[in-house]
Amino acid sequence: MKLYSVKDYLTGIKRNDKIWISRALSLIEGRRIEQRDLSCQLISSLEKSLEKKSGKIIGVSGTPGVGKSTFIDGLGYHLTEDLKLRVAVLAVDPSSIRSGGSVLGDKTRMQMLASSDLSFIRPVALSGFTGGVHPRVREMSLVLKAAGYDYVFIESVGVGQAEFDLYWMVDFFLLLIGPNEGDAIQGIKRGILEFAHHIIVHKADEISKGEASITASQYQSSLQILRSGDDFIPKVQLLSTLDALKKKKMGEVWAILQDCMKDYWKSSFFQSSLSESLKQQLESKLKLDTIEMIMESSVFEKMREKALKELSFGKKLPGSISYESVKKLFQEKNLG
Amino acid sequence: MEDIPILKVNNAEVIKKQKEKLDKLKKERDEKKVQAALDRITKAAEKVREGVYEKDYNLLALCVHAAESLATVGEMSLAMEKVFGRYKAEVQTISGVYLREYRDVGDEKEMETFRKENQKKLALIKEKVDLFIKEDGRRPRLLLAKMGQDGHDRGQKVVASSFADLGFDVDIGPLFQSAEDVARMALENHVHVVGLSSLAAGHLTFTPSLRDALKKVDLEEVLIIVGGVVPPQDYPELKANGASLIFGPGTVLTDAAIELLDLLLKRIKK
């Protein structure tokens, strides 16, 4: 990857020049230490231009196959085509744990939005990270915001409970569930109720409308009880993106969503969660940077080789080899 | 591979002639009559969508009528697209298949050498991918593109799935793309390589247009590779027009990956 000066990236981003936006996003993904240094400088210098930008970062999560890409495509199409707003998407796709590679296919499900002059869609590989999103999508979304996008959607891989990393990175967190997922996701219901800012019961078309309404009312009543102390209670909305597009009703859908977002941003619940968001972001970044710095150091590589050798002797179990090696490493480096 | 005599079609010349013929046709026909015939198609399509199937709304008959009035096939399908929309091919892929196949160690003796060789190749590929990540900072990213009127996407899927298994990040482009569409996707996804999958003999037209489109968006550094049904006779012309590597029928996927990675690594070192 070719590196440029911070100023080059900045001017390019501010001009909404796609090649510079793209280069900046890749820089943030970069794993080399000089790339990290540069990307850190870039993000800090973005702050000033961000103050003037009103763009919002919206997280979209939900179970696999619930239609997150279709929803973003449909809504994004309305925003760009009818309202002439700029829309960017970071679509996170899972990577194979074995090979590390991935097939990034979400964008082909966003063909309407992808062909708009006002859109920018970057599929992002999860690259072995956990938590449902690439841990640096926050920084990537800031670049897009600075480039003048009015809405930046971050689509998570959709694995359920593990995805609340994304919640802390966004201005509004949307959750999509299927029409008959009222009972099926009991296990993660609690997490959903605690974290979502808005719930969409998706694929609620003519056929599944009955089921979807039941699911929606279940969620709505649970929310009323669980969040009764807050001055913001998330709403549950029925939607079939395909129907809404066909009937040209995306405008109504957006109006509802916008009202809910405004309610949330006005609430004291939102104010009180701002500092918590920053704290949570810092916590996960600390973990991430520590792990990456250690894992990419030569010290770790030496320890790893030694441990693998020990395993091949067949006398010890992996668990104890690992624990003893790491403990020894920390004692040697006086890190205990 | 021995040379097989192949009929070579000059695509540029054909396109030029076709366009001239179309222009001539459009000048000479009765435009009012054409428009009326096309409107009837659109109207009938609306009825059909409402579920009204009557003799007057037989789309085929109306298309025959439109053709007799000298409407083009493109105009007829656009007349229907107004109502029905355009068909979107859904891309669905699975991954893990190829890795498992290559790793699977069975009992058959005759398979053993083959498998051992593949194990070695897989290890080599992983090594090269890791080296690339270390040098570049990102995993090698490959966009597999389909351009023009070429709906044969099985090869694209096979390559996508297997290259992901071999450690690449693979973007799959939609069907029927123009050079500008592909360049835009390469730009936003910021890929290292664009792989053009060509199975309908368009490679000599699409490769140079892709190269130009990439250049227009400042992506000269992006490698173009071409795969599919490409006769060896066309290799020199393709290479002169932007293709860095060409993979014809019978290519072994792991060999292709090694070749591509070697080229990518060589370019970093420069």
Is residue A70 in a domain? Answer: yes
Quick check: B95 and A103 CB within 8 A? yes
Sheet architecture: strand order including A235-238:
A119-125, A87-93, A151-155, A56-62, A172-177, A198-201, A235-238
Residues A224 and A77 occupy one common structural domain: yes
Architecture of domain B97-269: 3-Layer(aba) Sandwich (3.40)
The verdict on A219 and A147 lying in the same domain is yes
Look at residue A283 and tell me if it is in a domain.
Answer: no
CB A22 to CB B90 under 8 A?
no
How far is A171 from chain B, CA to nearest CA, in Å?
24
Residue-wise pLDDT tens digits, A233-243 = 999 999 999 99
Write down the pLDDT at residue A238.
94
Domain finish residue from A9, A30, A49: A49
B22-57 pLDDT per residue, tens: 999 999 999 999 999 999 999 999 999 999 888 899
Q: How many of the other CB atoms lie within 10 Å of CB of A252? A: 11
Task: Name the percent of chain A lying above pLDDT 70.
Answer: 94
* φ, ψ of residue A95 in degrees (nearest 5): -110, 155
Same domain, A31 and A136: no
User: Are A140 and A101 spatial neighbours (Cβ–Cβ below 8 Å)?
Assistant: no
A122-159 pLDDT per residue, tens: 999 988 777 778 889 999 999 999 999 999 999 998 76
A35 in any annotated domain: yes
Q: Could you say which of A19, A108, A125 has the minimum Cβ distance to residue B217?
A: A19
Rg over CA atoms, chain A: 22
Query: pLDDT band for position A165 (50/70/90)?
Result: confident
The stretches in chain B having pLDDT less than 70 are: 1-2, 90-111, 270
Global ipTM: 0.91
Q: Where are the domains of chain B?
A: 12-84, 97-269
Q: Which of B102, B132, B138 to mutate to test the interface with A (most CBs of A within 10 A)?
A: B138
pLDDT at B205: 92
Would A288 be classed as within a structural domain? no
Based on the domain organization, do A309 and A261 belong to the same domain? no
Banded pLDDT at A110 (limits 50, 70, 90): very high
A248/A219 same-domain check: yes
Asked whether residue A209 falls in the same domain as residue A88, the answer is: yes
Indicate if A90 and A169 belong to the same structural domain.
yes
Spell out which residues of chain B touch residue A102, defining contact as CB-CB under 8 Å: 95, 164, 169-170
Q: Are residues A90 and A119 in contact, defined by beta-carbon separation less than 8 angstroms?
A: no
| Mean pLDDT, residues A100-112 taken together | 88
Same domain, A309 and A178: no
Per DSSP, the three-state class of A89 is strand
A62 and A39 belong to one structural domain? no
Judge whether A234 lies within some domain: yes
Contact B133 A35 (CB under 8 A): no
B89 to chain A: closest CA residue: A108
Structure tokens, A325 = 């090696």
Residue A320 has pLDDT above 90, yes or no: yes
SS (H, E, C) chain B: CCCCCCCCCCHHHHHHHHHHHHHHHHHHCCHHHHHHHHHHHHHHHHHHHHCCCCHHHCHHHHHHHHHHCCCCHHHHHHHHHHHHCCCCCCCCCCCCHHHHHHHCCCCCHHHHHHHHHHHHHHHHHHHHHHHHHHHHCCCCEEEEECECCCCCCHHHHHHHHHHHHCCCEEEECCCCECHHHHHHHHHHHCCCEEEEEECCCCHHHHHHHHHHHHHHCCCCCCEEEEEECCCHHHHHHHHHCCEEEEECCCCCHHHHHHHHHHHHHHHHHC
How many domains, in total, are found in chain A?
Answer: 3
Asked whether the beta carbons of residue B189 and residue A103 sit closer than 8 angstroms, the reply is no
Higher-pLDDT residue of A168, B4: A168
Structural domain of A148: 53-269
The mean pLDDT of A268-275, rounded to a whole number, is 92
Calculate how close chain B gets to A242, using CA atoms only, in Å. 13
Contact check, Cβ <8 Å, A107/B136 = no
**Closest approach of A332 to chain B, Cα-based (Å):** 27
**pLDDT tens column, A28-79:** 999 999 999 999 999 999 988 888 889 999 999 988 889 999 999 999 999 9
Residue A277 domain-assigned? Answer: no
Domain boundary (A226, A251, A269) is at A269
Same domain, A265 and A307: no
The CATH number of the domain where A13 resides is what?
Answer: 1.20.5
Report the distance separating Cα A57 and Cα A169, nearest Å.
8
In this structure, what is the dihedral angle of CA atoms B250, B251, B255, B260, given to the nearest 10 degrees? 170
**Do A194 and A121 share a domain, yes or no?**
yes
Domain with residue A88: its CATH number is 3.40.50.300
Mark whether A201 and A312 lie in a shared domain: no
pLDDT at residue A193 in the model: 72
Does residue A268 carry a pLDDT above 70? yes
